[in-house]
């Protein structure tokens, strides 16, 4: 009977047991390019499109925020411009926005730290910016 219990246990999805029942956990379960982490920082998944005529948010999907960047992808110029532009979108100091992952990739993660922004505020600011253009 312990063998059948092991077989049953192996068929069970492991995620269900570990899902937190906190409000943050519930928000994290719905797919979103925005995530809040332990220190209160917000991570935003970005799909960068360098070499554009102007900076603008082109897409807001469950997986990423599409951002056109008016800089070439050489010597970190587009990354610097992305950080500058996103700090203006979120209304925070440039030093509060850092490139967390993806320095040499179009798929990036930026971190907004010590801003006091909530996930909802971050989403709303990106939505407003995407509608302005």
pLDDT tens readout for residues 64-109: 999 999 999 999 999 999 999 999 999 999 999 999 999 999 999 9
Helix or strand holding residue 87 (H, E) = helix 77-90
pLDDT value for 22: 47
Angle CA(74)–CA(68)–CA(41) in degrees, nearest 5?
90
pLDDT value for 114: 81
pLDDT value for 121: 95
pLDDT tens readout for residues 28-61: 467 899 999 999 999 999 999 999 999 999 999 9
| Structural domains of the chain sorted by starting position, each given as residue range(s) with its CATH number in brackets | 34-125 (3.30.1200.10)
Rounded Cα distance, 28 and 104, in Å: 27
pLDDT value for 30: 77
The pLDDT confidence band at residue 6, using thresholds 50, 70 and 90, is low
**Model-level pTM?**
0.76
pLDDT value for 13: 55
């Amino acid at each position: 009977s312990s063998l059948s219990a092991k077989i049953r246990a192996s068929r069970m999805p492991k995620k269900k047991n570990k899902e937190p029942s906190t409000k943050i956990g519930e928000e994290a379960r719905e797919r979103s390019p925005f995530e809040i982490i332990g220190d209160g920082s917000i991570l935003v998944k970005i799909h960068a499109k360098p070499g554009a005529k102007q900076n603008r948010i082109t897409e807001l999907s469950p997986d990423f925020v599409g951002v056109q960047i008016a800089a070439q992808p050489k010597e970190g110029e587009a990354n610097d411009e992305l950080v500058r532009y996103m700090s203006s979108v979120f209304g925070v100091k440039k030093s509060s926005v850092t490139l967390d992952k993806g320095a040499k990739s179009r798929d990036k993660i930026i971190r907004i730290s010590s801003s006091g922004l909530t996930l909802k505020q971050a989403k709303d600011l990106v939505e407003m910016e995407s509608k302005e253009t």
